[in-house]
Amino acid sequence: MVRVRFAPSPTGYVHIGSLRTALYNFLYAKKMNGSYVLRIEDTDQTRYVEGSIENLINCLVKTGIVHEEGPFIKGNDIEEIGSFGPYTQSKRLNIYNEYIEKLIEKDWAYTCFCSQDRLAEVRDQQKAKGETPKYDGKCRQLSKTEVEEKIKSGDPYVIRLKLPVDTIISFEDMVRGSIVFNTNDLDDQVLIKTDGFPTYHFAVVVDDHLMGITHIIRGEEWLPSTPKHVALYKAFKWEEPKYVHLPNILNDDKKKLSKRQGDVAVEDFLKKGYLPEALINYIALLGWSPDSEEEVFTMEELIQKFDLTRINKSGAVFDRNKLNWMNSIYIKSMENKKLVELITPYLLDTDIILETDFQEKPDYIQMIVETFKEKLNSLSDIVPLVNDLFKEEINFDDEMKEILKGESVPELVKVLTSEIERLDTVTPENIKKIFKIIQKEHGIKGKNLYMPVRVITTGETHGSDLMMIMSILGKEILLKRINSLILN
């Protein structure tokens, strides 16, 4: 029975890389008919951000990566479900205490009284000498009675992992193969901090074991600390899980994707109008590829196709371009009614659409969405598209001025004005009729017709379907723009 977990710490927003880690865990669990667990790693109290657990769960649920064990949102509370709980590390302190005792008994851990100041000093000296900073092992030799006395007198202390000297520790990574370390290059990691909380390294091993986790799928930044975890499994004589270290997601500069260089928060992408399905689809393909050539997949299809052995080893640059393309595919294939629903908040962000328009002129809204649908990379793209259409000032560049100098333009303007004036409301149909009249009765057609009209009515040489655009603008604005041309 496969059991995997996604174990984030509640320190704020959800990083796009975290989302991919969660996704791969989820896909693998579903593929194998196993369990996908959410665990909250909140052992650093100082980094806790209010509300981040709720935000985290919401993000996962929105993107369809839903766990079956762990914390869930119920009303205004968080409720844990599952028989391996608690799923929040700060609620498991007694468990860690119990296991650290065992470790000390086995002589795989020791109490250390070194102050942070001394540690910093040692580090600085080592760095100055060009050595790798590492705990010097001062407290390794402390006798049991010395330790007891110091504790009794109230000295603050931590518990450190007692790594064997000059020993090879190796493990198999499912995507990278055999990985070998020497303990001489490793530090005696702190396992329990002065505040009595475990560090990640200790809690992760205890919890993964107790929760029956079979596969650890996580980012490759954990690779260097994995031998410490392996040492703990050995110390406890526990069965080791399988390791799967995922390649990093990179910025354009090939460095780990970070907040400094644009959006990395899942909630930001969602806010900008990237559809959860598109985001998931794109991200699934960053570091993994199916054995077929298609690229557009539903979650269900991803589950079917997912395969740990096809995960890539090298880092992948997050390509905003391709995400845009992927998102546009999903937007175009969405039915209009659904799209109108999703895009409503963005339409309200424009300068011209009001709350009441949705009841009073649904067809008009529908027409706007239909017209711009094919031009959207994200839902928020509709805002500038609509605003630009209704811009106050129309300025012509040289190309447009050239077009307006056309021989038939004066006649075209005249007919256009009188025909539009005659209309009650402007619709694509009656604009088409007007164009027919102009073509048949005045012999103005093709580019000589469409280009000047587009330039006059929109101040652009490119854009969406002209008849739709004109209908969206409406009689009043059309005439105003045509008239202002005549005045000039």
Binding-site residues for ATP, in ranges, read 259
Name 69's bridge partners: 37
To the query of whether residue 259 is one of the catalytic residues in this protein, the response is yes
Candidate ranges 27-35, 58-66, 229-237, 445-453; the one touching RNA (CB under 7 A)? 445-453
In order of 25, 37, 95, 208, 213, the CA distances from 84 in angstroms are 18, 10, 12, 10, 11
Q: Look at strands 35-38 and 242-246 and give their pairing.
A: unpaired
335-374 positions binding RNA, by CB under 7 A: 374
Q: What is the dihedral of CA 62, 309, 8, 264, to 10 degrees?
A: -60
Pick the binder of RNA from 164, 224, 362, 443 (CB under 7 A): 224
Pick the binder of RNA from 310, 361, 433, 480 (CB under 7 A): 310
Pick the binder of RNA from 194, 336, 418, 483 (CB under 7 A): 194
27-66 positions binding RNA, by CB under 7 A: 41, 43-44, 47
Does 195 interact with RNA (rule: CB under 7 A)?
yes
Pick the binder of RNA from 24, 36, 99, 200 (CB under 7 A): 200
- Residues 184 and 137: their CA atoms lie apart, in Å, by 12
What residues have CB less than 8 Å from 38, skipping those under 6 apart?
Answer: 5, 6, 7, 57, 60, 67, 69, 70, 71, 87
Pick the binder of RNA from 23, 37, 60, 158 (CB under 7 A): 158
Does 408 interact with RNA (rule: CB under 7 A)?
no
Helix orientation angle between 200-210 and 93-105, rounded to the nearest 10 degrees: 100
Does 222 interact with RNA (rule: CB under 7 A)?
yes
371-400 positions binding RNA, by CB under 7 A: 374-375
Does 446 interact with RNA (rule: CB under 7 A)?
yes
Q: Which is the catalytic residue, given 259, 332, 432, 440?
A: 259
Pick the binder of RNA from 32, 197, 214, 474 (CB under 7 A): 197
Minimum Å distance from CB 365 to RNA? 19
- Residues 380 and 274: their CA atoms lie apart, in Å, by 9
Which tokens sit at 303?
A: 């589950």
Among 230, 207, 211, 236, which residue's Cα sits nearest to residue 35? 211
What residues have CB less than 8 Å from 21, skipping those under 6 apart?
Answer: 6, 217, 218, 219, 246
Nearer to RNA, 165 or 487 (CB): 165
Name 216's bridge partners: 243
Q: Look at strands 316-317 and 242-246 and give their pairing.
A: unpaired
Does 7 interact with RNA (rule: CB under 7 A)?
yes
62-101 positions binding RNA, by CB under 7 A: none
Does 315 interact with RNA (rule: CB under 7 A)?
yes
Candidate ranges 77-85, 138-146, 178-186, 233-241; the one touching RNA (CB under 7 A)? 178-186
Candidate ranges 103-111, 343-351, 359-367, 442-450; the one touching RNA (CB under 7 A)? 442-450
- Residues carrying an active site annotation: 259
